[in-house]
């Protein structure tokens, strides 16, 4: 799906997404990433929810967002409670949703000037 929103100057905005990629500004990403209005961490290690570990969310907590949107892929799936512990211990709110919903919500919250971080799981699709 393609999105069209007026962006605040210098902010990262999701411009489109599908099952295998997310386009931020003019760059297409095909691997999981961390997205904030002023920063992108490409090639975030977990590709799927099964790959997600607490140490991955420690990296997220270190960026000190106000709220984290965890995009779990094509479907909404919940990680084990212990995996989310680094965010809870840091007092960071977390919302779990499908990656497409996380992209849409990120644009809304960042447009409001919130310190939001979208942790987007994007599994590389096998050929065939």
pLDDT digits (tens, 9 = 90+) for 61-86: 999 999 999 999 999 999 999 999 99
Classify residue 128: in a domain, yes or no: no
Cβ–Cβ < 8 Å for 60, 119 = yes
Domain coverage including residue 62: 14-120
Residues of the chain short of pLDDT 70, as ranges, are: 1-9, 124-128
Residue 95: CATH number of its domain: 3.40.1230.10
**What Å distances lie between residue 68 and 80, 96, 110, 126, CA to CA?**
16, 8, 12, 28
Classify residue 9: in a domain, yes or no: no
Q: How many structural domains are present in the chain? A: 1
pTM: 0.89
| Residues facing 68 on adjacent strands | 94, 117
């Amino acid at each position: 799906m393609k999105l069209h929103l007026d962006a605040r100057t210098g902010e990262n905005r999701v411009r489109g997404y599908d099952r295998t990629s997310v386009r931020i500004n003019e760059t297409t990403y095909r691997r999981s990433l961390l997205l904030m209005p002023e920063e992108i961490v490409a090639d975030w290690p977990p590709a799927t929810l099964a790959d997600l570990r607490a140490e991955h969310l420690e990296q997220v907590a270190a960026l000190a967002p106000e709220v984290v949107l965890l995009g779990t892929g094509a479907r909404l799936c919940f990680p084990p409670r212990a995996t989310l512990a680094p965010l809870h211990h840091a007092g960071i709110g977390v919302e779990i949703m499908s990656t497409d919903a996380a992209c849409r919500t990120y644009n809304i919250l960042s447009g409001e000037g919130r310190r939001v971080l979208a942790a987007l799981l994007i599994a590389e699709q096998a050929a065939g």
